Copies of this chain bind each other. A is one copy, B any other.
């Protein structure tokens, strides 16, 4: 059976966002422990019970991993959980396309100051090619798709929050630091 120390370390391992180090464990338990030994015992327990996880030792410490043999199922999970998530750069690019469409890649890059990858947004069907711009090189014009509207729950592009509304949401925040102090703002 698992000892209390094993359980506490397991709880730490389960909830840690970064690899769990021996130093962290000592701090949390307020006594020094032999993390390598305990982790070996925990892994033995996982193995014996046939649990789908194990503690992997990497340079910075231990981290909880799912076992390799479950990868096919987990991959399928990510495919249908993960298709609604965007990185910061993808989000930036998407926001420019949404607000300035139709727009060329060159114009997007000019606003972001770096070159942008549109491929993943195109693959996710959030943006689409709307035609070509007249003029030299006739570059492709991009705009948002109907899937984009669906994803963000918009009836039409007119329902995008206006910049003025965003400003309102953002600016009032300056006073938000004082939100407990409606009455008590020092006058000067």
**Are the CB atoms of A11 and B52 closer together than 8 Å?**
yes
**Are the CB atoms of B73 and A12 closer together than 8 Å?**
yes
**Are the CB atoms of A50 and B1 closer together than 8 Å?**
yes
Tally of A interface residues using CB under 8 Å: 63
Q: Mark A100-132, 1 if CB is under 8 A from B, else 0.
A: 000000000000001101111010000001111
**Are the CB atoms of A153 and B180 closer together than 8 Å?**
no
How many angstroms from the CA of A74 to the CA of B24 in the assembled complex? 10
Q: Mark A13-54, 1 if CB is under 8 A from B, else 0.
A: 011111010001001110000000000000000000111110
> Measured between C-beta atoms, what is the minimum distance from A75 to chain B in Å?
9
> Measured between C-beta atoms, what is the minimum distance from A109 to chain B in Å?
11
- Is A96 in contact with chain B by the CB < 8 A criterion? no
Task: Please give, as numbers and ranges, the residues of chain B lying within 8 Å of A132 by CB-CB distance.
Answer: 159
